[in-house]
Structure 1
Amino acid sequence: MTDTSQPSATAETGYQPTVTAAHAKQIHRWHEDAYQSLREEAGAGQTFDYLGLTLDVPPEVMPITPVSDLLGEAVLAEVKTCDRVLDMGTGSGVNAILAASRATDVVAVDINPRAVEAARHNAARNGVSERVDVRRSDVFSAVDGDFDLIIFDPPFRWFAPRDLLEMAATDANYGTLTTFVRAAGRQLRANGRMLIFFGTSGDIGYLRQLLAEEGFTPEVVATRDVMKDGMRVDYYTYRVTRTA
């Protein structure tokens, strides 16, 4: 018999899961498998050739994944020369560097100090350090001004992270995601837009709910599905604008 009950809500953020308890357990299993693989593969660090870039990724920073290009290619297609761009949760700096291949004013932020170091290193390695201002920031805490485009590849899971590497994949009770969506409208210019990457290996219903509550409309610009344990997992890049 399928368990169709809901996991409990969390008082800290008001996060109310939109997935069933059975699906939540499946997501936990997927996450544990992926996390152990990440730790094993990270080792002393990795170097990736990706969409024309060369990126050095230390062991405490999220590496490039087989679906990273869904967001990366959308960044290349979306960024305009005149845009002021914010890359939220920049990790190794990948999407900020891609944006800086088009625009001259890019801010990249991450709460992980190892990610900040990696992003600065990779911006220099790829010749765009003068275009990318890398800062350590807890969501918008060290961000000033407003932006034409905000890029966000958030953690998909709502669990508490156990180390710096896991912070890129887990966000306790979706505190970061909630804070981001609630505040993003104040950081966007009048005709600003966002690119947000997410998948059904997280609670995508909660993301859609947050966007709707804050007056945003998501449009799918890229998608891919993969099979995990006989179940289909969908990944999406959304182009997000204010609801008319």
Structure 2
Amino acid sequence: MRNEKVDNKLNKIRQVRQPYGIYMGGISIVVFPKVYPTSELSELICECMDDPNFGIRKGDRVLDYGTGTGFLAVQAALRGATVVATDINPYAVKCAEENAHLHSVSSRITIREGDGFSPLRSDEKFDIIVAELPWDCAHAEDVVELSMYDPEFHMRKILFKNALEVLQPHGRIFMTYARFIQQRYPIEQFGESFIYRVVRERVIKGEPHYAYLINPAPAINLRTASTES
């Protein structure tokens, strides 16, 4: 459903006429007009990237699903990962390219425009998928609104339908979710073949938000491994 807070945020995004800079997660990034600005929520994913048990290891392949400004793609590349970043918004693609250039990690990040998993090659596999998805389920008028509204939960359904095909054995997903959305649309309903665990929590503007570590269920991992061997 439409959300007043979300609509107010969209109005602010539409008023932007020039690129501007923000500092987040220890780095500066530029935000282009018509692009959703990186928020404090992204820092929860950065904390997951640094976790000694399940975080990024040098040489990991990472998919940044819905990259926006490219903030998470840059953070993953700075930690030694090779990244594919996708977004349906052409303005976001240009913004992500600029931020990769600013941090001298363009050689480690491939940025592609397209819907869902369509920009991916059939042979691509990833150790980690990072996903900061739109807030709520509602109709979106354009690519700007698609940064905050996910009609029919299109992005979520594509992610959980296809993740097993693109994740390496023992691959994992880092995903953020707000408590008020979890109460209405539990994340677990989108994929029954996964194990969901809250690994980070932060109150942002009075509302609890979570970072989930999502792993394929053990039986799925065993089946995938035997298929590939």
TM range (shorter): 0.7 to 0.9
| Unpaired segments ≥5 residues, structure 1 | 1-23
Residue 201 of structure 1 deviates from its aligned partner by: 4.1
Q: Percent identity among equivalent residues?
A: 28
Counterpart of 2:213 in structure 1 is: 239
| Unpaired segments ≥5 residues, structure 2 | 219-229
Counterpart of 2:167 in structure 1 is: 188
> How far apart, CA to CA, are the structure 2 residues paired with 1:149 and 1:186?
13
Is 1:33 paired with 2:8? yes
> How far apart, CA to CA, are the structure 2 residues paired with 1:39 and 1:133?
27
Cα 1:76–1:98 change in 2 (3 A) is: farther
CA RMSD of the aligned region, Å? 1.9
Residue 142 of structure 1 deviates from its aligned partner by: 1.4
What number of residue pairs does the alignment pair up? 212
Residue 38 of structure 1 deviates from its aligned partner by: 3.8
Any idea what SS the aligned residue of 1:130 has? helix
Counterpart of 2:227 in structure 1 is: none
> How far apart, CA to CA, are the structure 2 residues paired with 1:146 and 1:120?
22
Q: For 1:116, give the aligned amino acid.
A: V
Residue 91 of structure 1 deviates from its aligned partner by: 0.6
> How far apart, CA to CA, are the structure 2 residues paired with 1:38 and 1:217?
35
> How far apart, CA to CA, are the structure 1 residues paired with 2:9 and 2:158?
26
Q: Deviations over 1:138-184 (max 9, x none)?
A: 11111121111111111111112223322111111111211111111
- Tell whether the 8 Å contact from 2:127 to 2:172 is kept in structure 1 after alignment: yes
- Tell whether the 8 Å contact from 1:76 to 1:98 is kept in structure 2 after alignment: no
Q: For 1:207, give the aligned amino acid.
A: I
Q: For 2:144, give the aligned amino acid.
A: L
Counterpart of 1:118 in structure 2 is: 95
Residue 202 of structure 1 deviates from its aligned partner by: 2.9
Residue 221 of structure 1 deviates from its aligned partner by: 1.4
Larger CA deviation: 90-99 vs 48-57? 48-57
TM-score in terms of structure 1 length: 0.80
Counterpart of 2:225 in structure 1 is: none
Counterpart of 2:187 in structure 1 is: 207
- Tell whether the 8 Å contact from 1:89 to 1:110 is kept in structure 2 after alignment: yes
Within the candidate set 62, 65, 68, 2:39 is matched to 65
Larger CA deviation: 121-130 vs 96-105? 96-105
Q: For 2:36, give the aligned amino acid.
A: M
> How far apart, CA to CA, are the structure 2 residues paired with 1:237 and 1:105?
22
> How far apart, CA to CA, are the structure 2 residues paired with 1:30 and 1:104?
35
- Tell whether the 8 Å contact from 1:137 to 1:143 is kept in structure 2 after alignment: no
- Tell whether the 8 Å contact from 2:88 to 2:143 is kept in structure 1 after alignment: no
Counterpart of 2:23 in structure 1 is: 49
